[in-house]
Amino acid sequence: MKFFDEARIEVIAGDGGNGAATFRREKYIPMGGPDGGDGGKGGDVYAVADRNLNTLIDYRYKRTFLAERGENGRGADCYGKGGDDIELRMPVGTIITMLETGELIADMDVDGKRVMIAKGGRGGLGNLHFKTSTNRAPRKKTMGQQGERKSLNLELKVLADVGLLGMPNAGKSTFIRAVSSAKPKVADYPFTTLAPNLGVVRTSENRSFVIADIPGLIEGAADGAGLGHQFLRHLQRTHILLHIVDLAPFDPETDPVREAHAIVEELRKYDESLYTKRRWLVLNKLDLIPEEEQAERVQAFLDAYGPVDRHFQVSAISRNGCQEVVFALQDVLDEEKAAAQAAADAKAAAEAATLADARAAAGSDADFEEDDFEGDESDESDEYDEEDFEDEEEIDADENPNS
């Protein structure tokens, strides 16, 4: 199956049904009055994230999606049936934007996420709603509203924890084959990889991460050279970038340091946030260098390249050194996940404390008002008793004038 990570579609929600203007006609019931029902609501259009999909090829040829229209209202107070909704299933990681303005509609970043992208029109009102004491035979009705119509751009950004980048034939596909169960095509010519590949790296029974391999970059990709920048978007969601460098190129005139700097410059031209993302160097193809020259070759490269966050020496074809890279990645990703979970827990605890304080304050206010109410009642009862006592004394004096 071909890989498509971009598509343009048009979604049209269903129109609402029209209201009816009818009157009740039944034997022995003259002037039955209005009984026109409302029109049904138009169907909505939803986008649903599905982890079982990995490409937008379903939207390559069919590009217009129309939801069902609501039925018209009928007599005898019969309302029209609402139109059926439609669901557009998309790969997890799809970003939906307006084609004209680029406004973000939805980011389908979680499996099963369901978002309405076009709302159906409301049904019209029948003449049943317009009867009054002075207008007992209304002939007024309303038409159904039109459903929303949108031109959308779909862009897939794969969800991966680690991204691989480097020149063509640097050994990226060989590396992902060595550390995961993914089996991308491997050959001895440039641009063997033409579409991103995902692999799950499992370090233990309960620990794993996802690694993404994209087609190679070359100098001038920002100007359209090679495959251009069209696949760099798939690295924007990653946590760590692995920069694969070929230390033993076939062409002796090729400078690995210059090529590595060219890759970094292409990242800067594409996206500043991608350029500043954590990036580790993986020096590959050490098996093609004599063992006694390996240390000297690696040190010469590091001195010419400049400071790096972290570097590894591997031979992807023989898998030497690959496990060290995998376990280092897993440790860093676990730390980031733990920090994110701790921040989420702290935020939830703060929100819970704020809610508890608000409830306590509301409870104290209620108790204060209740005390005031009870005090008012006691004052009124005391005044009432005193007045009643005075009235009783006056009555006794009137009944017993000699007392």
**How confident is the model over 40-97, as pLDDT tens digits?**
999 999 999 988 887 788 888 889 999 999 999 988 888 999 999 999 999 888 899 9
Question: Which of 125, 140, 156 finishes a domain?
Answer: 156
Residue range 376-380: average pLDDT? 49
Q: Residues, the chain, total?
A: 403
In whole angstroms, give the CA distance from residue 297 to residue 299.
Answer: 6
In a domain, 347, yes or no: no
Strand order, beta sheet including 162-166: 197-202, 208-213, 162-166, 240-246, 279-284, 311-313
Residue 71 makes CB contacts below 8 A (sequence gap 6+) with 17, 39, 40, 80, 81, 82, 83
pLDDT of residue 369: 57
Q: Would you say 204 and 152 are in contact if contact means Cβ atoms under 8 Å apart?
A: no
Overall domain count for the chain: 2
Residues 2 and 121 in one domain: yes
Tell me the two tokens of residue 38: 């409302």
Q: Look at residue 4 in the predicted model and tell me its pLDDT.
A: 56
CATH number at residue 263: 3.40.50.300
CB-based burial label for 246 (10 Å; 0-12, 13-18, 19+): buried
Rounded-to-integer distance, Cα 225 and Cα 207, Å: 39
Question: Residue 271: what pLDDT?
Answer: 79
> Does 149 lie in the same domain as 177?
no
Phi then psi for 313, rounded to 5 degrees? -120, 120
The verdict on residue 285 lying in a domain is yes
Does residue 65 sit in the same domain as residue 123? yes
Q: For residue 343, what are its two tokens?
A: 């921040």
Same structural domain, 263 and 195:
yes
Three-state DSSP state, 214: coil
Kind plus residue range of the DSSP H or E element containing 375: helix 322-399
DSSP β-bridge partners for residue 141: none
* Assigned token pair, 146: 């039109």
CA dist 294 and 313 (Å) reads 9
What pLDDT shows up at residue 260? 87
Q: Is residue 376 part of a domain?
A: no
Residues 168 and 187: beta-carbon distance below 8 Å:
no
Domain boundary among 104, 127, 156: 156
DSSP code of 80? P
Question: Per the domain annotation, does 243 fall within a domain?
Answer: yes
| Residue 230 reports pLDDT greater than 70 | no
Task: Measure the CA–CA gap between 122 and 13, rounded to whole angstroms.
Answer: 11
In this structure, are 89 and 191 located in the same domain? no
Do 147 and 209 sit in the same domain of this protein?
A: no
The answer to whether position 396 is within a domain reads no
Domain assignment present for 401: no
The 10s digit of each residue's pLDDT in 103-146 is: 999 988 888 899 999 999 999 999 888 888 888 888 899 999 99
pTM reported for the whole predicted model:
0.64
In this structure, the answer to whether residues 167 and 86 fall within a common structural domain is no
Question: Tens digits of per-residue pLDDT, 142-195?
Answer: 999 999 999 999 988 877 888 888 888 888 888 888 888 777 767 665 666 667
Q: What proportion of the chain, given as a percentage, has pLDDT over 90? A: 20
In a domain, 385, yes or no: no
Terminal C-alpha separation, the chain: 116
Domain that holds residue 78: 1-156
Contact (CB, 8 A) for 18 and 36: no
Confidence class of residue 365 from pLDDT cuts 50, 70 and 90?
A: low
The pLDDT, as a whole number, for residue 229 is 64
Among 156, 172, 189, residue at a domain's last position: 156
Q: Verify that 265 and 332 share a domain, yes or no.
A: yes
**Whether 301 and 193 share a structural domain:** yes
Same domain, 54 and 151: yes
Q: What contacts 93, CB < 8 A, 6 or more positions away?
A: 108, 109, 156, 157, 158, 159, 237
Task: Classify residue 300 as exposed, middle or buried by CB count within 10 Å of its CB (0-12, 13-18, 19+).
Answer: middle
> Is position 65 within any domain?
yes
The larger pLDDT score, comparing residue 319 to residue 190, is at 319
Residues 170 and 145 in one domain: no
Domain of residue 117, CATH code: 2.70.210.12
Question: How does residue 218 score in pLDDT terms, banded at 50, 70 and 90?
Answer: low
Residue 371's pLDDT band, with cuts at 50, 70 and 90, is low
Question: Distance between CA 196 and CA 47 in Å, rounded?
Answer: 23
- Do 257 and 170 fall within a single domain? yes
pLDDT tens for 256-303 read 888 888 888 888 888 788 888 888 999 988 888 888 888 888 898 888
The per-residue pLDDT of the chain, averaged, comes to 81
Q: What is the pLDDT of residues 33-43, one digit of tens each?
A: 888 899 999 99
Distance CA 3, CA 227 (A): 14
